[in-house]
Amino acid sequence: MSRVNEMFGSMVFNDATMREKLPKETYKALKKTIQNGKVLDPAIASSVASAMKDWALERGATHYTHWFQPMTGVTAEKHDGFIAPTDDGGAIMEFSGKELIKGEPDASSFPSGGLRATFEARGYTAWDPTSYAFIKDGTLCIPTAFCSYGGEALDKKTPLLRSIEAINKQAMRVLKLFGNEDVKNVVTTVGAEQEYFLVDRKYFDQRNDLIYCGRTLFGAMPPKGQELDDHYFGSIKTRVKAYMRDLDDELWKLGILAKTEHNEAAPAQHELAPIYTSTNIATDHNQLTMEIMKRVAERHGMVCLLHEKPFEGINGSGKHNNWSISTDTGVNLLEPGKLPHENAQFITFLCAVIKAVDDYQDMLRISAASAGNDHRLGANEAPPAIISMFLGDELTEILEAIEGGVDYEGADKRELEIGVHVLPHFPQDTTDRNRTSPFAFTGNKFEFRMVGSSMSISGPNIVLNTAIAESLKKFADELEGKENFTAALNKLIKRTIREHKRIIFNGNGYDDAWVKEAEKRGLQNLRTTPDALPEFINPKNIKLFTEHKVFTEAEMHSRYEIHLENYCKVMGIEANTMVSMAKKYIFPSVTAYIKDLSNTVNELKSAVPNANCKAETELIVTLSKLLNAMFEDNNKLEEFSLAATKISELQERANYYRDNVIPYMAKVRASADELELITAKKYWPMPTYGDLIYKV
């Protein structure tokens, strides 16, 4: 066995391990539970728990934890020892079925958006047997959902599981209409490409902005940025290579299929792409990947930055959420087929996605909205805040031909009728490579590129699954029971294309002309997080999620509140960090430099009475002008940031940060960055962009 084979999944209680370790009957019953989503029999749970414990102990684990994903966006765990006392004063290692299935963490320290009444602070975690348990740092981690005692979701996993169920149900209805009798189950699949930066720990430690905010609040561009385009796919530095190797090992042990790793466009920026898997597992894996990226960086004397925009003036980091939908019989429903009926099915699912993206632009936008991602969307190399879809010229022409019932050149001038004609084959590589589209068809999947690098992919996938489930539901409602299925389908497809083609845009999404064009088409442009968030509780969206039982109305209101609160907190921390860095570091350094320059002038003048000291004097004047401006703006920033905290209504507070605090942060930064460029290096109080992005 190769090293990789031996290592891969060695810390995962996966299917192969279960088959080996569980009694046959237990294994079968568990599989059934996993496949049908049935409740687990307590006797089976005991048997699974016991086998899981033995397996974990063999691998050196001493503790177990219910691993969950609260609304903080990161994962949470509370460790319990396997150890239990015996009557004779000794100890044994114990883990019961009850402990496997359910945990009771105190929910009061996690965001609940007002869902959890204070008299009922307890929450509970429930095992999600569709995601395998694993060992991390000597602890057996059991993936769980996290709910309040009233049953409301307090996490990112519960609604994701519900959305997976919703799309399965509706897709099955549509597949039945196409005569797929052998399909039992439909799953969505995701591969999440993850971008990140690596910086040297010793520089990181000298910057409070990186420590507290995860991004730089100050910093002038070095003479060389990314303009030479020499970093993307460039050769990887030895130190970074060692990091990536180590990272792969750790991820492989956890059964995470990390596959390609390369340099990204910006200096010090890199990307990791995994092989896709089911959405639930992909989401767990992405959370783990982010955690392990950070941990492994520490071992290499580096810090991994997952923030969406750690540095101004160079590319930010995103997460490309590759999404598709396939059957348990192995058919990717977004893969164009070769036979007429396969093509009809493909076009139907494609149209379901088109309709969903158009109808729920706002929800997709929200799923990628955060204070951090606001710096990225619409900026250099990031897709704009407007949702549109890239299909490529060929596929777009095909849709136009179907809609108009006209000839399609590529199809021997035949009229394209769905379910009757074979679609012309279009080569896959013409379908990709529009990097400016937020939502691109890439041959057999869609790539949603707006998601921020630090975000959980749960939110975007909840929206995709549910919105597409809704399209499929509408389709099934209309088509079921129709005598002439092909005619009804043709009508439906034509209408869907006509009504939703405004969302298709194959041009340059970074172009200003697109903003105007999108407005003409009636597409939404929700520029910032406070602009986007109110749509979360738009009745149309509440209807969508409650009808498909993904969120209750109360859960939606609570999530709206949590997102607003998070935005305000991030803004508050950033403003305060900036104010204090200005006062404690930048002002003292610049004044020290001015003092030295002034002393020089005085000494020169006393030594050489006629000396004009032009350079020194001009420098002093410029420095003190900038310092004054920065001082005034910093005072204003402090004042506004304090005023924001006094606003009790959350939406209003978020708007206030957007309108008053952010502009002053920009002003303070502009003066500081100019000061940095003319202050002698030995006075400047923190590592520069040059240090951070080139000295890894």
Q: Quick one: 428 or 628, whose CB is closer to Mg ion?
A: 428
Collapse the DSSP code of 172 into the 3-class scheme (helix H, G, I; strand E, B; otherwise coil) and give the result.
helix
Alpha-carbon 523 to chain mean position? 23
Q: Quick one: 72 or 332, whose CB is closer to ligand ADP?
A: 332
| CB-based contact 426:394 (threshold 8 Å) | yes
Rounded to 10°, the helix 279-299/157-177 angle is 140
Q: Quick one: 324 or 688, whose CB is closer to ligand ADP?
A: 324
Residue 445 touching Mg ion (CB under 5 A): no
136's contact among ligand ADP, Mg ion, none, with CB below 5 to 8 A by partner kind, is: none
Q: What are phi and psi of 88, to 5 degrees?
A: -90, 20
Residue sitting closest to ligand ADP (CB): 191
In the complex, the smallest distance separating the C-beta of residue 193 from ligand ADP, rounded to whole angstroms, is 5
Give the C-alpha separation, 659 to 374, whole Å.
Answer: 13
Q: Tell which one of 307, 320, 375, 669 touches Mg ion (CB under 5 A).
A: 320
In the complex, the smallest distance separating the C-beta of residue 576 from ligand ADP, rounded to whole angstroms, is 38
Site string for ligand ADP, 326-365 (x = CB under 6 A): ------x---------------------------------
Q: Residue with structure tokens 């937020």? A: 438
Q: Residue with structure tokens 């000291």? A: 613
Q: Quick one: 193 or 261, whose CB is closer to ligand ADP?
A: 193
Residue 442 touching ligand ADP (CB under 6 A): yes
In the complex, the smallest distance separating the C-beta of residue 666 from ligand ADP, rounded to whole angstroms, is 35
Residue 435 touching ligand ADP (CB under 6 A): no
Site string for ligand ADP, 2-41 (x = CB under 6 A): ----------------------------------------
Site string for ligand ADP, 168-197 (x = CB under 6 A): ---------------------xxx-x----
In the complex, the smallest distance separating the C-beta of residue 335 from ligand ADP, rounded to whole angstroms, is 8
Collapse the DSSP code of 261 into the 3-class scheme (helix H, G, I; strand E, B; otherwise coil) and give the result.
strand
CA distances (Å), origin 671, targets 586, 598, 634, 658:
11, 21, 10, 20
CA distances (Å), origin 5, targets 150, 249, 253, 410:
45, 11, 10, 46
Give the C-alpha separation, 632 to 667, whole Å.
Answer: 10
Q: Burial code of 149-176, b = ≥16 C-beta within 10 A, e = fewer?
A: eeebbbbbbbbbbbbbebbbbbbbebbe
Q: Quick one: 231 or 320, whose CB is closer to Mg ion?
A: 320
275's contact among Mg ion, ligand ADP, none, with CB below 5 to 8 A by partner kind, is: ligand ADP
Query: Which one, of 646, 641, 645, lies nearest residue 660 by Cα?
Result: 641
Residue 278 touching ligand ADP (CB under 6 A): no
Q: Which range of residues in 320-328, 372-380, 617-625, 663-671 is near ligand ADP by CB under 6 A?
A: 320-328
Residue 444 touching ligand ADP (CB under 6 A): yes
Q: Tell which one of 322, 454, 471, 529 touches ligand ADP (CB under 6 A).
A: 322
Element (H, E) at 13: strand 12-13
Strand partners, 191: 322
Q: For residue 201, give both structure tokens.
A: 């720990």
Q: Quick one: 53 or 320, whose CB is closer to Mg ion?
A: 320
Q: Which range of residues in 25-33, 196-204, 313-321, 673-681 is near Mg ion by CB under 5 A?
A: 313-321
50-89 positions binding ligand ADP, by CB under 6 A: none
**Sign, CA torsion 309/534/119/76:** negative
Element (H, E) at 477: helix 458-479
In the complex, the smallest distance separating the C-beta of residue 535 from ligand ADP, rounded to whole angstroms, is 27
Helix, strand and coil in the chain, % to nearest 5: 50, 15, 35
Cβ neighbour number for residue 313 with a 10 Å cutoff: 16
In the complex, the smallest distance separating the C-beta of residue 315 from ligand ADP, rounded to whole angstroms, is 18
Q: Tell which one of 156, 215, 376, 445 touches ligand ADP (CB under 6 A).
A: 445
DSSP 658: I
558's contact among ligand ADP, Mg ion, none, with CB below 5 to 8 A by partner kind, is: none
| CB-based contact 195:308 (threshold 8 Å) | no
Number of residues that bind ligand ADP (CB under 6 A): 16
Q: Which residues contact 663 (CB under 8 A, 6 or more apart)?
A: none
Q: Quick one: 247 or 532, whose CB is closer to ligand ADP?
A: 247
Q: Quick one: 368 or 418, whose CB is closer to Mg ion?
A: 368
Q: Quick one: 165 or 432, whose CB is closer to ligand ADP?
A: 432
**Sign, CA torsion 535/537/539/540:** positive
- Output the DSSP codes for 320-357: EEEEEEEETTS-BTTS--SSHHHHHHHHHHHHHHHHHH
Q: Give contact residues for ligand ADP (rule: CB under 6 A).
A: 189-191, 193, 273-276, 322-324, 332, 432, 442, 444-445
Name the site residues for Mg ion (rule: CB under 5 A): 320
